[in-house]
Structure 1
Amino acid sequence: MNRDKVVLAYSGGLDTSVILKWLEIEHNLDVIAVCIDVGQEENFISVKNKALATGASKVYIIDVKEEFVSDYIFPTLKAGAVYEDKYLLGTSFARPLISKKLVEIAEKEGAVAIAHGATGKGNDQVRFEATIKALNPYLKIIAPWRQWNLKSREDCIDYAKKHNIPIPVTKEKIYSRDQNLWHISHEGGNLEDPWNEHDKDIYMMTVNPEDAPDKPTYIEIKFEKGIPVSIDGIKYSPANMIYKLNEIGGSNGIGIIDIVENRLVGMKSRGVYETPGGTILYEAHKTLEKLVLDRAVLSFKKMVSEKYAQLVYDGLWFTHLKNSLDKFVDNTQEVVSGTVKMKLYKGSCKSVATKSPNSLYNEAFVTFGEDDVYNQKDAEGFINLFTLPLTINAIMKKEKNEKEKQII
């Protein structure tokens, strides 16, 4: 008898390995494992072999790194979206792309459901399922962490041992990590107590800033319409651009944050994130925008950036509002072309120089020396008009006070 097919978002880690066997044993499903390569450091041949050995009927390994950077990372970068002032959304914008590919495979294979390994306490369950519902609402969704009797990662380890599933973690070293080309996150373990300083040996993409070189590194990044295209005059593909900046930033200890964030589901969580290349790009992009965008656009775009970050964090990538904000952002980026010189030193990432053919900075107007383009006497009339509401308010108050004194 043919079994119903389910597409599983598979990484080869503890959770998804246990889920694969659980779907097969407990639900008698034909499991198709799909591993999406968004730049995580992984031996994908081993992942495939492990999935087949664990019980998968078929395995897909799909490389989407270039699409990930071009269609998900760069739009978010152009928007300047940062969640709660620190988090550069590395896990958040990978989920809609992964989910999109899961839907495509499910439709191709005639699967009735998609399964994922997100817990019932986290944001990823929302991100996966919001995308699946937006792209194919007829597919069922199986979320084992909301259904089975396993209550912890320790329980999963015991389940894996019972069914002879090889696992990469132990009860002593139990960090939950998510990695892609953009970043790596660390959660769980001793990080669950916010009073614990995180251990420096958890870093995987960066060196400890204290151990970074004693000499600063300078690089020049060129942007075209908000998109980075070259480093020190050398052009890179979107994915290779991130790889190169990760290498440079990581060696200088750039991009480490330790944050207690507000999850969508209503609780706070603590994580350590490493985003070396992304941190460099955000700082460079922001600096270039300040050179080429006027005050009104910058001010409004700041509000858009905050809303954009919330949408991405909440998994609402495929929405009308997100699409509408992209159109505004793309319009602002028409003039965001130029070069930014960055100084990297022991975890510090600073822009030190900028130039652009669209620069709104005009030395002839702002010079402290003599100029022929700005009549300083004109400022008096401007100030009189700008402060007119203040003047009128003060006059009215004084007249009112005088009348009250006369009555007394």
Structure 2
Amino acid sequence: MPSCVLAYSGGLDTSVILGWLQDEGYDVHAVYVDLGQPCEDRQAILQKAKDCGAVSARIVDGREEMCRDFAFPVLQWQAKYESIYLLGTSIARPLISKLCLQVAKEVGADAYAHGATGKGNDQCRFQLAAEALDPTVKVIAPWRIEKFRKAFPGRTELIAYCNEKNIPVKASTAKPYSSDENCLHISYEAGELEDLTVNGVELVDFGMTVSPQQAPDKPETVTIKVEKGVPTHVNGEKCTALEVVTKLNEIGGRNGVGRIDMVENRFVGMKSRGVYEAPGMTILYDALLNVEQLTLDRDLIHLRDQLKPIVAEDVYNGFWYNAKMDALLAFIANAMQKCTGEVTLQLYKGNIIVASRSSEFSLYDEGIATMEGGGSYNQDDAEGFLRIQGLPSRVQGRVTPRAY
């Protein structure tokens, strides 16, 4: 029999897909990639996969790798898709594909299957990553197969199939929205959130953050140390990448930090509405930005800022494993060599306020910047500087006079 590896979550869709793949003649190896999904009994999920007929089922822990090798380089770019979204789901998908392909190679599987639909971005991220890592891989996306869609046109049919096959699922035909979660964030979409007149922040039962209104009435202070662009300490305690994110999720979450509601442009062309919460990463973006402001040269920062929308778009669309991204990641790693320092932030009801920042590599010179008398900046130098800068404008003004 042919065999495949299935990126298995234990939810309704992948549980049905596991059974359907067996009906189609595949031996199925279920792989649950642990990315910090909260409130899930992982051993129960494995047992469920085995009870449903999986030839093998395993957990692969990708939490540290995702934070260290995927999220933190994106953080160094200050990359946000369409200036808002911190890419928490987008970052995870190439890693899931990588880890599933590693298992496929180990067990000798012929194909890689996932539960992403033909309408969303995740199908792009899963497949583009898989094909880049293994150009010969066969990707099975049941939601893009007409036979599967005819069998399961809606949630009612999915649930009926599970009942028929005695597959236990916690699902109902009425659900106000769907969610996807990992240690970086939780995303919420679909269902009632497709109605743009619905207040998403009021509808969603957030899992990582309290509302700013319910946050404490007193600011909480947090100090973050960065070394070469990598967050390494929280409140004086040295941490792994995962520990940094986890600690800041707790601190930011209880202070209502990191909620957004946006309408975004999907790679497949449609607009969609998403509600997100990412307390830890939101704090890290602010913290690193403040260290960068001290330590990075003006022209370097401006070049980075010109390129960061390209990075955000490629991560969002799923182009993680390609030559352009390799070059961009090498660039930002080099750019961050002097980005070392410490920043103290105050968190208050969803807001992040800078209390202090410092760095041994700071390019800020108070003697030059001071507005008081004296200092080491000679204002007479500005006369010649501006005459040279203004030369093209003066020439153009003589040739083409402007009305004023």
Structure 2: which amino acid aligns with 1:211? Q
Choose which of 242, 258, 263 in structure 2 pairs with 1:239.
242
Compute the displacement of 1:389 (Å). Answer: 1.4
In 1, Cα distance between the equivalents of 2:242 and 2:304?
A: 26
Confirm whether residue 281 of structure 1 aligns to residue 284 of structure 2: yes
Confirm whether residue 127 of structure 1 aligns to residue 125 of structure 2: yes
Structure 2: which amino acid aligns with 1:156? L
In 2, Cα distance between the equivalents of 1:151 and 1:77?
A: 39
Task: State the secondary structure of the residue aligned to 1:167.
Answer: coil
Confirm whether residue 169 of structure 1 aligns to residue 178 of structure 2: no
Confirm whether residue 29 of structure 1 aligns to residue 41 of structure 2: no
CA contact (8 A) 1:200 1:208 kept: no
Compute the displacement of 1:138 (Å). Answer: 1.7
Task: State the secondary structure of the residue aligned to 1:339.
Answer: strand
2:102 alignment partner in structure 1: 104
- Cα deviation, 1:54-106, whole Å, max 9, x if unaligned, reads 11111010112111111111111111111001110101111111100111111
CA contact (8 A) 1:335 1:358 kept: yes
Compute the displacement of 1:162 (Å). Answer: 2.8
Structure 2: which amino acid aligns with 1:30? D
In 1, Cα distance between the equivalents of 2:329 and 2:400?
A: 47
1:229 alignment partner in structure 2: 232
In 2, Cα distance between the equivalents of 1:101 and 1:203?
A: 29
1:404 alignment partner in structure 2: none
Choose which of 204, 207, 210 in structure 2 pairs with 1:204.
207
Compute the displacement of 1:152 (Å). Answer: 2.8
In 2, Cα distance between the equivalents of 1:376 and 1:154?
A: 75
In 2, Cα distance between the equivalents of 1:248 and 1:104?
A: 35
Confirm whether residue 309 of structure 1 aligns to residue 348 of structure 2: no
Compute the displacement of 1:12 (Å). Answer: 0.3
1:46 alignment partner in structure 2: 44
Q: Report the more deviating stretch, 379-388 or 14-23.
A: 379-388
Q: Which has the larger radius of gyration?
A: 1
CA contact (8 A) 1:182 1:278 kept: yes
Task: State the secondary structure of the residue aligned to 2:246.
Answer: helix
How many residue pairs match? The answer is 397
Confirm whether residue 15 of structure 1 aligns to residue 13 of structure 2: yes
Structure 1: which amino acid aligns with 2:339? V
1:406 alignment partner in structure 2: none
CA contact (8 A) 2:185 2:278 kept: yes
1:136 alignment partner in structure 2: 134
In 1, Cα distance between the equivalents of 2:96 and 2:276?
A: 20
Task: State the secondary structure of the residue aligned to 1:334.
Answer: coil
Alpha-carbon RMSD: 1.5
2:255 alignment partner in structure 1: 252
TM-score of the aligned structures, taking structure 1 as reference length: 0.94
- Cα deviation, 1:120-140, whole Å, max 9, x if unaligned, reads 000111111111111112221
Task: State the secondary structure of the residue aligned to 2:337.
Answer: helix
> Where do 1:49-128 residues align within 5 Å?
49-128=47-126
TM-score of the aligned structures, taking structure 2 as reference length: 0.95
In 2, Cα distance between the equivalents of 1:268 and 1:371?
A: 56
- Cα deviation, 1:2-29, whole Å, max 9, x if unaligned, reads x21111000001110110011112x021
Compute the displacement of 1:157 (Å). Answer: 2.2
In 2, Cα distance between the equivalents of 1:240 and 1:178?
A: 21
1:300 alignment partner in structure 2: 303
Q: Report the more deviating stretch, 311-320 or 152-161.
A: 152-161
1:375 alignment partner in structure 2: 378
Structure 2: which amino acid aligns with 1:157? I
1:405 alignment partner in structure 2: none
Gaps of 5+ in 1: 402-408
Confirm whether residue 356 of structure 1 aligns to residue 394 of structure 2: no
2:186 alignment partner in structure 1: 184
In 2, Cα distance between the equivalents of 1:397 and 1:94?
A: 55
Gaps of 5+ in 2: none
Compute the displacement of 1:200 (Å). Answer: 4.8
- Cα deviation, 1:110-164, whole Å, max 9, x if unaligned, reads 1111110000000111111111111112221111111112223343223222322
CA contact (8 A) 1:114 1:140 kept: yes
CA contact (8 A) 1:365 1:371 kept: no
In 2, Cα distance between the equivalents of 1:160 and 1:179?
A: 23
CA contact (8 A) 2:188 2:204 kept: no
CA contact (8 A) 1:283 1:350 kept: no
Identity %: 46
Task: State the secondary structure of the residue aligned to 2:163.
Answer: helix
CA contact (8 A) 2:176 2:192 kept: no
Structure 1: which amino acid aligns with 2:35? V
Task: State the secondary structure of the residue aligned to 2:30.
Answer: strand
